[in-house]
Copies of this chain bind each other. A is one copy, B any other.
């Protein structure tokens, strides 16, 4: 990521005292607030894993859970569940396989498909990742009561169900 280091050391950026800008209607828009929250949660996820010395994205976590709970599924089935193209999935699986977290096995019943499953190290790693996700979840919901968190999840699902996703 970025140009190879050569001379100057990274300098702490203080910058100007970031005056708050006028955001107009944006804070009243559900889509905008959803995107901001999602972005902040994503950043928190990254910090949580970084701090623990682990490397994983929210998407990779979801993928690993799906494979763990549906051992032997095909790449097509996984891509469909993730809502991405099968070609998009290839390099993602390449990376996870290179990390020895999962394997592609030849299906004995259908020579065209790969049966995906976690490796033993992958299963072990997922347990650790899940603990980190729990800690992360606890933090992002820290300002919400249990009831509020449930309400939020319910409302988010209502929103999702109401969209015309392709």
Contact = CB atoms under 8 A, between A and B. Distances in A.
Nearest to A148: B155
Nearest to A45: B31
Contacts of A155: 144, 148, 151-152, 155
A106 interface: no
Chain A contact-residue range equals 35 or more
17 contacts: A23-B81, A24-B66, A26-B66, A30-B137, A30-B152, A31-B133, A34-B38, A35-B38, A35-B41, A37-B160, A43-B163, A43-B164, A139-B162, A140-B163, A141-B159, A143-B161, A152-B152
Contacts of A62: 26, 32, 35
